[in-house]
Structure 1
Amino acid sequence: MERNTRQRTAIHQCITAAGRPLAPQEILEHAQQAVPGIGMATIYRNIKSLLESGEIATVSLPTGGDRYEVAGHGHHHHFHCRACDKVFEVHACPGDMQKMAPKGFQLESHELTLYGLCDQCK
């Protein structure tokens, strides 16, 4: 069983409070408010632990740089702001994507990332 340290609690709380996927650097900046002196190695160690326990999930973007969000949101997509580099959740889906697969192929899953400017950057 994983120890519930101040650092782990701060990291989990900042991911939960953000309401959107966070990059490791964003997690560091938020966690430092609760635990001054926390370092990037601690962030990565706790991200790994939180992933292994199923508390958070990875959001992998085609442009690189994984983000992390609270697990259990169900099927959803993401919006990536090209100006501020933040990623936001999109709780909508265009629906049945099987019709887009080549004839004879069986679709198992899909990911959709929208790109543009968020409301703060436009």
Structure 2
Amino acid sequence: MTVSRSTRQRDVITRVLHDAEGPLGVGDVLERARTDLPALGVATVYRTLKLLTDQGRIHPVTLDGETRYEASGKGHHHHFACTRCQRVFTLHTCPVALPSGTVYPGGFIVEAHEVTLYGQCPQCAQAS
């Protein structure tokens, strides 16, 4: 069975996002996908990210004004952004006990929350 070029590109980009330790920017996706597809172009990455987002297979995450992408279906989680190496990691535990429906002081009704922690990842902390 022959796989079309666009399907191969889509599969590689999907795998890159699925295997990532956290959400990736477009440049990171391009760099990692070029391991398997050296001729891959940035326009194809953008088109594929839009298609995968429209299909609900991935979703955008905005951190410090930059849009990054991660695979959907990871459940409730948060992120850790390393201030040295700039990588972003997925945290699988929630540091905030604030369930949906909680009434926050002032009358704010919580529907959801996002938390990003900043600091040094283990590799960068060890190198200090």
TM-score (norm 2): 0.85
1:36 to 35, 38, 41: 38
Q: Does 1:76 align with 2:82?
A: no
Please give the residue correspondences for 1:1-122 in structure 2 after superposition, counting only pairs within 5 Å: 5-61=7-63, 63-93=64-94, 94-96=96-98, 98=102, 101-122=104-125
- Name the CA distance, whole Å, in 1 between partners of 2:13 and 2:24: 11
5+ residue gaps in structure 1?
none
- What percent of counterpart residues are identical? 45
What letter is aligned with 2:49? Answer: I
- Name the CA distance, whole Å, in 2 between partners of 1:23 and 1:51: 14
- Name the CA distance, whole Å, in 2 between partners of 1:18 and 1:50: 16
Return the offset for 1:102. Answer: 2.8
TM-score (norm 1): 0.88
- Superposition RMSD on alpha carbons, in Å? 1.6
5+ residue gaps in structure 2?
none
Residues 18 and 70 in structure 2, CA contact (< 8 A), matched pair in contact too: yes
Return the offset for 1:5. Answer: 1.5
